[in-house]
Amino acid sequence: MAAEGQPAYRAQQIRDAVWRRNAAAEDELRTLPGPLRARVAETFRVDTIAADEVKVADGGLTEKTLHLLSDGALIESVLMHYPARGYGGPGRPLHRERHTLCISSQAGCAVGCPFCATGELGFGRDLETAEIVDQVRHAARRLSASGSRLTNVVFMGMGEPLLNLDRVLEAVAILADPRMFGLGARHVVVSTSGVVPGIRRLTALGPQFTLAVSLHAARDPLRDVLVPLNRRWPVAEVVAAARDHARVTGRRVSYEYVMISGVNDTSVDAEALAMLLRGDLAHVNLIPMNPVAHTPWQASSPERVAEFAALVRKGGVGVTIRANRGQDAGAACGQLAADRAGQPTASVVARRREAIVRESEAALRGDRNTQSLPAELAAAVGPGRRL
C-alpha cells in the first residue's frame, strides 16, 4: 500500500477482510474503493487454492478436502470435529468442543515411509507459505458458516514439515498473530519423521508449538524400514534431539507410533519403547494403521493395541490410543491424492509388497538396512541443503 501511495489503514483493511471476514476473492475486499480494489486484484492473489473437493466421513465428524493448487498439484487437509463432552458443572461441559485441522506442508513427500500413501506418491514440491495458510483459511470459512471457530492446527497431512521449515515457521507465525488468525501456540502441533537439524533449529527458537515425533519403532533395524530417514538420523539421535527440545522449552514431546500387525506391535517392541522414553517429558500416541493399497500390512487388532499400551504404561511411559478418523473417506494421509494419481499397476504393487516383506523380515531378524538412501531422500537431506 505504501508503494501505491496509499495510507497504512488500507493495508489494515485488507488484512481484516482476509482474516476477520475470510475473503475468498478480491471482489470481497468491500471496504476498499473500487479503483483500489481493481488495482489489488491485478497485483495480489487473495487465495492460492484453485478448487476444493470435500468428502465427509464419520457421520459428519470428519471432512477431508482435496485442494487443487494453481500449478495442478494436489494436497489434502482433514477437518475433525470433536463435540463438547463431560459434565463440568451446570450447563458447562468438562471439555469444550474442538475443531482440529490437519494440514499439508509439501505436495508429496521424499521420506517414503512404506505404510504411508503420501510416501508412495514421492516428492512433488514444497508448499508456499500462503498455500499452507490458505488450507486453514478454507477450513475456517467452512466452519464460520456453521458459527464455529477452528481451535487446533496439526501439521500431520502430506509432507515432512521440517524439510520445508522456513515456510512452516512463517505460516505458524501468521496463524499465531492476533491481528491475523490468532491461534495460540499451544494449539499447533508439528509432526516430524525425525529431521534432527530441524528439531535442533526449533529448540533454539524456544517454544513455538508442540513437537510430535513419528517414531513407529524403538529399534533401529525396524525403523530403518518403517521410516527410511532413520538411516541418516537413527533413533538415539532423534530422541536425544527431542529430549533437548522438551528440556529447553518445558513442553512435552508427543511420539506417534503407527501400529502394524506383526511388524512393530510385539511385546519386545513395547518394552524397547518404554526403555527408550522412560523418565522423559514425553507421551506416546498409538495409532492403528490405516490400510493403504500398496502394502501387505494390516492394522494391529484393538486387543493387541490395548496390550501394547498396557506394557508401555507399565514401563513408565504415558500412552494414549488414538481413534482412527475418516477411514471411510480414504483419510490416511495422502490417500485421496494417490487415488487421483491413478492406481499403480498390479505388478508395481506386487514388487513393492515383496520389497517391503523382504526388508521387514530382515529387520525383524535384527539386521540393519545398509542400503544407501533412496535418491529422492538423499537429495532432500543431502549436503548443500540448509536444514
Q: Site residues (CB under 6 A) for ligand SAH?
A: 109, 115-116, 156, 160, 191-193, 214, 256, 258, 287, 289-290, 292, 332-333
Which of 66, 116, 168, 373 is close enough to bind ligand SF4 by CB under 6 A? 116
Which residues between 207 and 266 bind ligand SF4 (CB under 6 A)? 214
When asked if residue 171 is in the footprint of ligand SF4 (CB under 6 A), the reply is no
Size of the chain, expressed as the number of residues it contains:
387
Residue 29 or residue 292: which is nearer to ligand SAH going by CB?
292
- Binder among 111, 162, 174, 213 for ligand SF4 (CB under 6 A): 111
Q: In 3D, which of 85, 82, 81, 84 has the Cα closest to residue 64?
A: 81
Q: Which of 26, 63, 76, 131 is catalytic?
A: 76
Strands 188-192 and 210-214: parallel
The residue from 102, 109, 116, 333 that is catalytic is 333
Three cell numbers written together for 269: 517392541
For the CB of residue 204, give the shortest distance to ligand SF4 in the complex, in Å. Answer: 23
Contacts for 1 with CB less than 8 Å, ≥ 6 apart: 7, 8, 10, 11, 14
Select from ligand SF4, ligand SAH, none the partner in contact with residue 282, using the beta carbon and a kind-dependent cut-off of 5 to 8 Å: none
How far apart are CB 182 and ligand SAH at their closest, in Å?
24
- 126: contact with ligand SF4 by CB under 6 A: no
DSSP letter at 248 equals H
**CA distance readout (Å), 144 to 38, 103, 385:** 27, 18, 40
Q: Could you tell me which stretch among 125-133, 140-148, 152-160, 231-239 binds ligand SF4 (CB under 6 A)?
A: 152-160
For ligand SF4, the closer CB: 191 or 300 = 191
Side-chain half-sphere of 38: how many Cα atoms within 13 Å?
Answer: 2
Q: How far is the CB of 156 from ligand SF4 (least distance, A)?
A: 8
Closest CA to 79 of 126, 16, 143: 143
CA 341-346-351 angle, to 5 degrees, is 100
Helix runs in the chain, H state only: 8-19, 34-43, 117-121, 129-145, 165-176, 196-205, 220-226, 235-249, 267-277, 302-314, 335-341, 346-365, 375-381
Site for ligand SF4 in 182-211 (CB under 6 A): 193
User: Rule CB under 6 A: is residue 287 a binding residue for ligand SF4?
Assistant: no
Whether 76 is a known active-site residue: answer yes
Residue 260 interacting entry, from ligand SAH, ligand SF4, none, C-beta within 5 to 8 Å by type: none
Under rule CB under 6 A, residue 121 binds ligand SF4: no
3-state class of 139 per DSSP?
helix
Q: Considering only 27-35, 116-124, 179-187, 305-313, which stretch makes contact with ligand SF4 by CB under 6 A?
A: 116-124
Task: Rule CB under 6 A: say whether 46 interacts with ligand SF4.
Answer: no
The conformation of residue 159, written as its DSSP 8-state character, comes to S
In the block, which residue shows the cell 487388532? 301
Q: How far is the CB of 106 from ligand SAH (least distance, A)?
A: 8
Whole-angstrom Cα distance, residue 165 to residue 197? 11
CB of 326 to ligand SAH, least distance (A): 11
Q: What is the DSSP string of 21-39?
A: S---SGGG-TTS-HHHHHH
Q: How many residues bind ligand SF4 (CB under 6 A)?
A: 13
Of 109, 150, 239, 380, which one interacts with ligand SF4 (CB under 6 A)? Answer: 109
**Closest CB 193 distance from ligand SF4, rounded Å:** 4
Q: Which residues pair with 79 in a beta bridge?
A: 63, 101
State the minimum distance, in angstroms, from the CB of residue 226 to ligand SF4.
9
C-alpha distance from residue 221 to each of 113, 224, 262, 354, 366 (Å): 14, 5, 15, 18, 6
Binding site for ligand SF4 (CB under 6 A): 109, 111-113, 116, 118-119, 158-160, 193, 214, 333
Active site residues: 76, 333
